Amino acid sequence: MVWCRHEMSTRVDQGVYAHAGALMKMILGADLSYVNEVEALGGVFYDQGQARDPFRILKDHGANLVRVRLWHTPTWTSYSTLADAQRTIRRARALDMAVLLNLHYSDTWADPAKQIVPAAWAALSDIDQLERAVYDYTYTVLDELNAQGLMPDYVQVGNEINTEIMVGAPHNGASINWPRNARLINAGISAVRVAGRVAGQQTATSPRIILHIAQPENVVPWFDAALAAGVHDFDVIGISYYPKWSTSSMEQAGQTIDQARRRYQTEVMIVETAYPWTLAAGQTDDHLLGPDSVLPAYAPTPQGQRDFLIDLTQTVLDAGGTGVIYWEPAWISTPDRPSTWENATFFDEQHHVHAGIEFLSHSYTKRARECR
């Protein structure tokens, strides 16, 4: 018979907790990839009645990491380019915040429904050529960031790569060609490692590598298949957890985190999550997180959003996970461009900070799990 006893252990203050006799830093972060664009469109953020830098707002409320996405060569926007990502990283670094660079390996959104190869690589039907292109691009991006003193602390090799990466059309239910998939993923991993060794000799900043899967129920099947195919040398399993799109309860998400870190002997964190603070129409009633996103235990209010995030973070911590990153707390509506995410940000209708942001500064306690 196996039994477990939970006991209160070391309190988590300012993102640091004691684990196995060592100090561990808990990641409490936010994806701020939209901020540059929102501000250019006239968006203003308020805290305590004053207009303030949203990076500073998040930092002052407890965030210690900024996540930023990078598209290869988007022709439909001037944002999430390398130049835009550099600006975001500079803003984070100026506040001494860690950085997670999210490489989409696409010219647009990459997710389980679509992993579209960048146009620059579309004609590379030979796997050797595509593998080399992935390596060269990844290395070049990191080399340029390092030259400017902007080497990230974490690098995601792909975004929500549940389905086969760098293909020509949206996902149609086809199974993954794992020999091909593994070679492309490993090419990205290898480039990060080599660039990291160079950077480590110069600045002691060598990025940790994250592989990112959407929804907890997909984690173990995907990583079992990936490891069997030869994917290797990553540091962290990143998970998206959105109750709207997941079959896992919060408790089950915690169980997956515990299982994955033990099964693969790696760190696990939530790199994307969100919850609505209202269902009322603001500048738009076309919210991505609508009534189907609401859980019975958490009302769609600022307090409900806060409670969901505190409970999720505590669940992650108890399961041995190392962090929670919110997506995307500053994607507010602007005068000329409504945001379909405005009801899931940390800012109210007048763009003043509300209670949801308090999950970042909450005093967590890691509960030790003793099993016999």
Per-residue pLDDT tens over the stretch 305-348: 999 999 999 999 999 999 999 999 999 999 999 999 999 999 99
Confirm if 241 and 270 have CB atoms less than 8 A apart: yes
Per-residue pLDDT tens over the stretch 57-91: 999 999 999 999 999 999 999 999 999 999 999 99
Angle, to 10 degrees, between the axis of helix 178-203 and the axis of helix 127-147?
Answer: 20
Torsion of CA 204, 190, 97, 300, to 10 degrees: -160
184: nearest Cα among 257, 113, 240, 110: 110
The proportion of the chain whose per-residue pLDDT surpasses 90, expressed as a percent, equals 87
Residue 144 backbone phi and psi in degrees, to 5: -70, -40
> What type of residue sits at position 81?
T
> What type of residue sits at position 210?
I
- Average model confidence (pLDDT) across the chain: 92
Residue 309, classed as helix, strand or coil, is helix
R_g over Cα of the chain: 20
* 151-160, 194-203, 354-363, range with the lowest pLDDT: 194-203
- Cα separation, 123 vs 125, whole angstroms: 6
Q: How confident is the model at residue 94 (pLDDT cuts 50, 70, 90)?
A: very high
Q: Would you say residue 304 has pLDDT above 60?
A: yes
Q: Which of these CATH numbers, 3.30.2010.10, 3.30.559.10, 3.40.190.100, 3.20.20.80, describes 30-371?
A: 3.20.20.80
Name 224's Cβ contacts closer than 8 Å, sequence gap at least 6.
none
Domain boundaries, the chain: 30-371
Q: Would you say residue 243 has pLDDT above 60?
A: yes
Owner of token pair 């076309």: 286
Q: Which of 7, 164, 251, 272 is catalytic?
A: 272
Q: How confident is the model at residue 18 (pLDDT cuts 50, 70, 90)?
A: very low
Mean pLDDT of 115-136: 97
272: nearest Cα among 45, 51, 67: 67
Q: How are beta strands 22-25 and 16-19 bridged, if at all?
A: antiparallel
Sign of the CA dihedral 318, 319, 321, 326? negative
Angle, to 10 degrees, between the axis of helix 250-264 and the axis of helix 302-318?
Answer: 30
Q: Could you write out the DSSP letters of every residue in 3-55?
A: -EEEEEEEEEBTTEEEETTEEEEPEEEEE-TTHHHHHHTT---EETTEE--HH
Tokens of 230: 């030869």
Report pLDDT for 3.
Answer: 34
- Cα separation, 9 vs 133, whole angstroms: 48
Owner of token pair 């080599």: 194
- Cα separation, 249 vs 286, whole angstroms: 25
Model's pTM, two decimal places?
0.93
Per-residue pLDDT tens over the stretch 245-284: 999 999 999 999 999 999 999 999 999 999 999 999 999 8
Q: Is 272 a catalytic residue?
A: yes
Confirm if 246 and 217 have CB atoms less than 8 A apart: yes
Pinpoint the alpha helices (H) of 70-126. 82-94
Q: For the chain, give the number of residues.
A: 372
- Cα separation, 102 vs 118, whole angstroms: 15
- Cα separation, 158 vs 173, whole angstroms: 19
Name 204's Cβ contacts closer than 8 Å, sequence gap at least 6.
none
Per-residue pLDDT tens over the stretch 132-146: 999 999 999 999 999
Residue 336 backbone phi and psi in degrees, to 5: -110, 0
- Cα separation, 115 vs 247, whole angstroms: 22
Tokens of 51: 């207009």
Sign of the CA dihedral 84, 85, 91, 93? negative
- Cα separation, 187 vs 105, whole angstroms: 12
Tokens of 205: 């900043």
Q: Which of 37, 39, 131, 160 is catalytic?
A: 160
Q: Would you say residue 23 has pLDDT above 90?
A: no
Query: Would residue 42 be called left, alpha or beta, if left means φ above 0 and alpha means ψ between -120 and 50 degrees?
Result: left
Q: How confident is the model at residue 15 (pLDDT cuts 50, 70, 90)?
A: low
